[in-house]
A and B are shown apart, each in its own frame.
Chain A
Amino acid sequence: MEYVIEMLNIRKEFPGIVANDNINLQVEKGEIHALLGENGAGKSTLMNVLFGLYQPEKGEIKVKGEKVKITDPNVANKLGIGMVHQHFMLVDTFTVTENIVLGSEPKKGGTVDIKKAEKEVKELSERYGLNVDPGAKIRDISVGMQQRVEILKTLYRGAEILILDEPTAVLTPQEIKELIGIMHSLVKEGKSIILITHKLKEIMEVCDRCTVIRKGEGIGTVKVADTNPTELASLMVGREVSFSTEKTPANPKETFLSIKDLFVKDVRGVNMVKGLNLEVKAGEIVGIAGIDGNGQSELIEAIAGLRKSESGSIKLHDQVITNLSPRKVTQSGVSHIPQDRHKFGLVLDFPVGENMVLQSYYQQPFSKKGVMNFKNIYKKAQELIEEYDVRTPNAYTKARALSGGNQQKAIIGREVDRSPDLIIAAQPTRGLDVGAIEFIHKKLIEERDKGRAVLLLSFELEEIMNLSDRIAVMFDGRIISEVKPEDTNEQDLGLMMAGNTPQKAGGS
């Protein structure tokens, strides 16, 4: 069998870190080849080497059996390698066609022949079942469509090998299904696809073979037909991974958090939380299940003091914390793992160490009389980095340089370390790989067992079912029913999330 792409013994170093070492990747013509690894394992680095953005220190690259040197993305394009990045590179105000031909426009006497371009784009789109409207403006089309435009862009430039960097991360389940269809029709036409991912389900569903990278090292290539998710997960993480988190039954004690008749408005001034009641006890994890946009974010921001409550009360123990400042809420014993770790959780341009004291910098021993004590700060940071397995060159590295999973572990370390009474965990594992998810779930259960109250918000039903001791279904700004995970299943939960209150679930 001839390989269209061969990367042999690739090694890539960055100052202080080996990102890739001894990695082999061989892609056959017409196959979908998965590149699997944890966050920060070096998948993107390897693909950037292939795409000419980085030069490897060692190793060689062959395209269709011929040794090549890919010095920049233009060379990669000429060799028929196209890349669809995780973050799209499209001009918002341009049309689909204009974006696709940008840089290699068909010309007619000094002007762009947009008619011809549109025709070509239409043909390509139909041939691969992409179904995009060549005349639509980028800002008017969905994220899934924008991704297809990116795919078309590479095809228009004659790509034979497509690199898709975590393409499903931004898509809805329906869009994922459609993307899978597109991938199948692409390989049918003789293209080859390298799929970068850490989602095992996708690999099992669409890929032919899978190359695994762990901590920058090539682990090997397996045929997907001969393997299973458990084996892939342990190859990726380097140890056995359990998918359902082990935990003992909860032992709830006194009520820590109690919310009564809470009303909260969103930025537009529309009521999003409408008379919500909820209690969380010490030693239990309460999971909020619901479809995005039913007031979950507003609820959490209101508890954390980031958003004003219109009426109702939020109590921690016997203390009313409604509309206290974020600092007062923190001081009263609430920790908050925010939904958006880049926007809220971290100051990305600060070192990891300084991010570890983002709420406590003004207290001893981190400062005294207004003067920072960086020795104590970095000592604490080092402890947290070790305890929470935050993989970073050192505590002085900017938070921006860390992978998503490690950023999240840093936030969780910081939030849990304050020994709060209540931990709000909003989508704590979004975008993370199985290893990191397992770690974070374990930590949350540990905290529960220490007698803390945990309020979990997640849009992943699996996570809600696995982790919660009690599930509160949120719909249209209210908790419409509460169930135990052992008394329900994903299907029933789905129905309740859509606003139905089945009898057997014992509605509210």
Chain B
Amino acid sequence: MTDLNKTAADAVQDAPRNPAPAGDPFLSVRDLRVHFDTDDGLVRSVDGVSFDLHKGRTLGIVGESGSGKSVTSLAIMGLHRSKRAGITGEIRLDGEDLIAAGPDRVRQLRGRELAMIFQDPLTAMHPYYTVGQQIVEAYRVHHPQASKKQARARAVEMLDRVGIPQPDRRVDDYPHQFSGGMRQRAMIAMALVNDPSLLIADEPTTALDVTVQAQILDLIRDLQAEFGSAVIIITHDLGVVAELADDILVMYGGKCIERGPAETLFDAPEHPYTWGLLGSMPRLDRELQERLVPVKGTPPSLINVPSGCAFHPRCPYADLTGGRSSSELPVLTEAAPGHHAACHLPVAERHRIFAEEIAPRL
């Protein structure tokens, strides 16, 4: 069995490219802020992020380390300790506000309606319990009436579903007996055991090799098509979001600086930071460039976020805005249908710069 390989071209072909659906979004985040009070000052990890997500769609959140993408996902999952984190704003899941709801209510939802896949499956799984025991626990917490036997059958079924060979035997293995890719599959099985409606994958493939990454991305795509859940995928890898996401949200310094459908975001990015990200990554699908074009400087501190646009100290076009970049906070405005960006540069000017200077280099 294992020596059989298939080309995934046909699997890619029927990937759902559904247009943005109308109606109420399944998850709606409004002006989410997560601040941490530390000895050094207030860390504004997430500072006013809003987005909507419909069932059956995938949102990709992209950003560098410290941009607030993981903190956003932990806030949705209700995994911040309330004493340490000041969370304001609104997170509506199917109309119910999770921030206003108590921790008990969120605990009921977590694992059943909301599930998460973590980056490093070795630290996210308990080394002391077998993989099966951990999946069974996740199932029985939300299905108290299920017998041990039923729960175990369900665990085996899920392991089979995520492509683990001989699931009835491997269910009794410990996490260390699994390879990295299999552990990530087991964690996906654990996340999906209660058929969640919202799945958050935080850097699900960062710790994996490319060949395994391709397998896992395919798996997530297939499972979403099958279960119709909403998926948030958080990553720093633009290649991964391009493979999976319908919509993309780019974060910088705790804020959303650009948001739009995947195609337009890659074809006609609006924000200079997004240009910088695209320009600084070497790409296999393009002619080799002599030199990469890095974004100068380093990501901002979240304690002393630069005034005005947080990106202005690194932005090559900041002086074209007549000083507004450093004094005035840019707001997200619609630059193209469904495509928003927070930049002071006039839209026409941005399009000119992109067409003349950026696009030829990409």
Q: Do A and B bind each other?
A: no
Residues of chain A having any CB pair with chain B under 8 Å:
none
